[in-house]
C-alpha cells in the first residue's frame, strides 16, 4: 500500500510528514501553502510511483527556504543541486532552521544582516557540532542576536571581596543607616569586581567591560559531558536559580558564536560552555557606564587576527609534513628501480 503525505496544521505553519521526513511551511506564505496543498492532493491520489516521486520533488523544491531566499536576495546566497543553501564563497550549508529564520525575515521585510553576520561568526567556530546546537539554544531561550552577529547570554556571579590577612575571612563592606541602625542593602555597580561561583584556573576575576577568556584547548567540547571545563553562561532561567544569594549578581554578556565550545545536552539546553565572553552590564544593579558590541569588536578583531595567524601556521606545518611524506615515498620508489 502506498504511503500518504500527512499534514498537521497550527496557527503559524503547516507540518508535512513525507516518508518519515518533516517539513514546515509558514502560513504567512499563502501562495506556497496553496500550491503545497494542491501537490499533496495529487500525491495522495496518485498510484504511479514515478509520478509520485516527481510530485514529491516539486514539493521539496517549493518549500525549500534556500530556494526562496536565493530568489529574494541572490547576491548573498547560492544553492547546490540538492537544494542546500550557502553563503556565497563558503562551503558549509546553512542549517535548515537558520535558513527558515532568514526566510521569515525576508518575508517580513526585516534586515537579515545580523543573521548573516551571526552565520559568518559561526563558520569560524572550529567545533562544527556547535552549529546545530547553538541556534536552537538561542531560539529555545529567547536570546537576542545583536546587529553585529553576537548574542546575549547571562552569568550568575558574586562580588569579589578582599580577605583579612590574619583571619582569612572575606571582608564585606557593610553599611548601616545612621537613623535606624538597619543594614543598608548594598548597591551593585559596574565598578565592582566579581567572581564565578566555581573555582578554576581561568575567569576568576570578572570586570564589566573586560573580556573573560580561557584557552580553547582547555575547554571541553563534548556536549555529553554536562558539567566540565569551560566558561559557563546560560539563559536567565538557568542563572536565575543558580547560586543565588545576598551578594550574587547576574551579568549580561555578549558572546561570539565563534567562541561557543559546547551546549551540554542536560538542563534543556539552557547553559553552554564558551572560551570567551564579554560582560557588558549588571542585570540587577546600577550601570554607570554603557558598553556596546562596538566595544567588543575592538577586542574580537585582534583576537580573530591572532587566531587566524595560529591557524595559518598550523596549516602550513601540516602541508610541509605532507610534502615531506610524499617526497620520502617518492624517494623510496625511485630507489627501487
Q: What confidence score (pLDDT) does residue 71 get?
A: 56
pLDDT of residue 217 exceeding 80, the answer is yes
Give the DSSP letter of residue 147.
T
Give the span between the Cα atoms of 132 and 265, in whole angstroms: 12
Beta bridge partners of 183: 176
Task: Write the DSSP string, 236-273.
Answer: HHHHTTSS--TTEEEEEEEE-GGGEEE--SSGGG-EEE
Q: How far is CA 65 from CA 97, 187, 290, in A?
A: 9, 49, 38
In 3D, which of 21, 8, 17, 24 has the Cα closest to residue 104? 24
pLDDT of residue 276 exceeding 90, the answer is yes
State the average pLDDT over residues 166-195: 71
Q: What confidence score (pLDDT) does residue 12 get?
A: 64
Q: What confidence score (pLDDT) does residue 265 get?
A: 79
Q: Which three cell numbers stand for residue 256?
A: 561570539
pLDDT of residue 189 exceeding 90, the answer is no
Q: What confidence score (pLDDT) does residue 125 get?
A: 93
Do residues 257 and 121 touch, judged by C-beta distance below 8 A?
Answer: yes
Sheet of 6-9, strand order:
6-9, 13-18, 21-26
Q: How far is CA 313 from CA 67, 219, 262, 306, 323, in A?
A: 38, 22, 25, 11, 15
pTM for the model stands at 0.72
pLDDT of residue 3 exceeding 60, the answer is yes
Give the span between the Cα atoms of 55 and 5, in whole angstroms: 11
SS3 286: strand
Among 2-6, 265-269, 292-296, name the one with the lowest average pLDDT. Answer: 265-269
pLDDT of residue 168 exceeding 70, the answer is no
Greatest pairwise CA separation for the chain in angstroms: 102
pLDDT of residue 35 exceeding 70, the answer is yes
pLDDT of residue 219 exceeding 90, the answer is yes
Q: What confidence score (pLDDT) does residue 1 get?
A: 56
Q: What confidence score (pLDDT) does residue 23 get?
A: 72
Q: Which three cell numbers stand for residue 196?
A: 564565578
Q: Which three cell numbers stand for residue 136?
A: 536552537
Q: How confident is the model at residue 74 (pLDDT cuts 50, 70, 90)?
A: low
pLDDT of residue 112 exceeding 80, the answer is yes
What percent of the chain is predicted at pLDDT more than 70?
84
State the average pLDDT over residues 219-238: 87
In 3D, which of 294, 15, 260, 283 has the Cα closest to residue 138? 260
In 3D, which of 68, 12, 62, 25 has the Cα closest to residue 42? 62
Q: What confidence score (pLDDT) does residue 27 get?
A: 65
Do residues 108 and 120 touch, judged by C-beta distance below 8 A?
Answer: no
Q: What confidence score (pLDDT) does residue 243 get?
A: 56
State the average pLDDT over residues 314-330: 94
What percent of the chain is predicted at pLDDT more than 90?
27
Q: How confident is the model at residue 325 (pLDDT cuts 50, 70, 90)?
A: very high
Q: What confidence score (pLDDT) does residue 184 get?
A: 64
Indicate the burial class of 207 (C-beta count within 10 angstroms; 0-12, 13-18, 19 or more).
Answer: middle
For the stretch 240-274, pLDDT in tens is 776 556 678 889 999 999 999 998 877 777 889 99
Task: Write the DSSP string, 64-102.
Answer: -HHHHHHHH-TTTEEE-TT--EEETT--SPPPHHHHHHH
pLDDT of residue 231 exceeding 90, the answer is yes
Distance of CA 238 to the CA centre of its chain: 17
Average pLDDT, the chain: 82
Q: How confident is the model at residue 132 (pLDDT cuts 50, 70, 90)?
A: confident
Give the span between the Cα atoms of 119 and 86, in whole angstroms: 10
Amino acid at each position: 500500500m502506498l504511503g500518504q503525505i500527512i499534514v498537521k496544521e497550527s496557527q503559524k505553519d503547516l507540518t508535512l510528514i513525507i516518508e518519515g521526513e518533516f517539513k514546515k511551511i509558514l502560513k504567512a506564505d499563502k501562495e506556497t501553502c496553496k500550491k503545497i496543498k494542491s501537490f499533496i492532493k495529487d500525491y495522495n491520489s496518485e498510484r504511479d510511483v514515478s509520478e509520485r516521486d516527481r510530485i514529491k520533488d516539486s514539493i521539496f523544491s517549493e518549500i525549500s527556504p534556500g530556494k526562496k531566499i536565493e530568489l529574494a536576495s541572490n547576491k548573498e546566497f547560492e544553492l547546490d543541486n540538492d537544494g542546500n543553501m550557502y553563503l556565497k564563497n563558503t562551503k558549509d550549508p546553512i542549517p535548515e532552521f537558520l535558513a527558515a529564520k532568514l526566510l521569515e525575515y525576508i518575508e517580513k521585510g526585516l534586515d537579515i544582516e545580523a543573521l548573516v553576520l551571526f552565520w559568518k561568526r559561526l563558520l569560524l567556530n572550529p567545533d562544527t557540532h556547535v552549529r546545530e546546537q547553538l541556534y536552537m539554544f538561542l531560539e529555545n531561550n529567547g536570546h537576542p542576536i545583536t546587529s553585529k552577529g553576537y548574542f546575549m547570554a547571562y552569568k550568575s556571579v558574586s562580588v569579589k571581596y578582599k580577605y583579612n590577612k590574619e583571619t582569612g575571612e572575606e571582608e564585606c563592606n557593610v553599611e548601616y543607616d545612621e537613623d535606624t541602625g538597619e543594614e543598608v542593602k548594598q548597591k551593585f555597580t559596574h565598578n565592582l569586581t566579581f567572581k564565578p561561583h566555581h573555582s578554576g584556573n581561568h575567569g576568576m576575576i570578572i570586570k564589566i567591560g573586560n573580556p573573560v577568556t580561557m584557552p580553547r584547548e582547555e575547554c571541553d567540547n563534548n556536549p555529553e559531558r554536562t558539567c566540565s571545563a569551560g566558561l559557563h553562561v546560560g539563559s536567565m532561567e538557568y542563572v536565575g536559580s543558580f547560586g543565588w544569594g545576598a551578594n550574587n549578581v547576574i551579568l549580561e554578556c555578549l558572546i561570539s558564536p565563534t567562541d561557543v565550545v559546547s551546549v551540554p545536552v542536560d538542563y534543556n539546553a539552557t547553559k553552554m560552555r564558551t572560551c570567551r565572553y564579554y560582560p557588558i552590564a549588571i542585570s540587577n544593579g546600577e550601570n554607570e557606564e554603557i558598553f556596546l558590541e562596538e566595544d567588543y569588536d575592538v577586542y574580537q578583531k585582534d583576537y580573530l587576527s591572532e587566531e587566524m595567524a595560529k591557524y595559518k601556521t598550523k596549516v602550513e606545518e601540516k602541508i610541509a609534513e605532507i610534502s615531506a611524506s610524499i617526497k620520502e615515498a617518492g624517494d623510496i620508489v625511485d630507489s627501487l628501480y
